[in-house]
Copies of this chain bind each other. A is one copy, B any other.
Amino acid sequence: MTQVTQYHVNVMFGDCDPAGIVFFPNFSKWMDAASHHYFHACGVPPWRELYNETRLIGTPLLEIHTKFYVSATYGQSLVIHTQITSWGRKTFEQLHQVYRGDTLLCEGTETRIFVIRPNPNGDEIQSIAVPQWIKDKCQ
């Protein structure tokens, strides 16, 4: 069974552009927050708490694909519905749908990988297979 989580966003004045509407990269920022929240809601601790044990530092993006249907502006409340639509060996795809009330404003998929920093003093980053315990928590 697929879990769908909800993440709430209040649009701020500073999220909007000279056209008076949400500057579109903020939707990506909110989807990223919804992605973090998804794992948290499924019982996975924040990456920073997992680091010492697992060297995991996050789930960077390989690809995003977003469609914008209706604009939003400051003072409005949005809800992002998030689910994982597929798991690969190393990757997974999340679908985020941004609603204002019943209106779907925008939706996008993110393709992400799990990465670790094997040496805390180094800059190197490595992708790893999807950790099974995380996958288990999300299903």
For A14, A21, A66, the residue with the greatest tally of chain B CB atoms inside 10 Å of its CB is A14
What's the dominant secondary structure at chain A's contact region? mixed
**Residue A46 is within 8 A (CB to CB) of chain B in the complex:** yes
Hey, which chain B residues are within 8 Å of A18, CB to CB? Answer: 13, 16-20, 48, 58, 73-74
Instruction: State the CA gap A62–B24 with chains docked (Å).
Output: 10
**Residue A102 is within 8 A (CB to CB) of chain B in the complex:** no
Within 10-51 of A, Cβ neighbours of B (below 8 Å) are at 10, 12-14, 16-21, 23-26, 28-30, 32-33, 36, 40, 46, 48, 51
- Do B62 and A68 touch across chains, with their CB atoms under 8 A apart? yes
- Sampled A-B contacts (14; CB under 8 Å): A12-B33, A13-B33, A19-B125, A21-B60, A23-B32, A24-B28, A24-B60, A25-B25, A36-B74, A46-B74, A48-B123, A63-B65, A63-B68, A65-B65
Q: Which 4 A-B pairs have the closest CB atoms?
A: A25-B28, A12-B33, A25-B25, A120-B120
Residues of A within 8 A of B (CB): 8, 10, 12-14, 16-21, 23-26, 28-30, 32-33, 36, 40, 46, 48, 51-52, 57-58, 60-68, 71, 73-75, 120-121, 123, 125
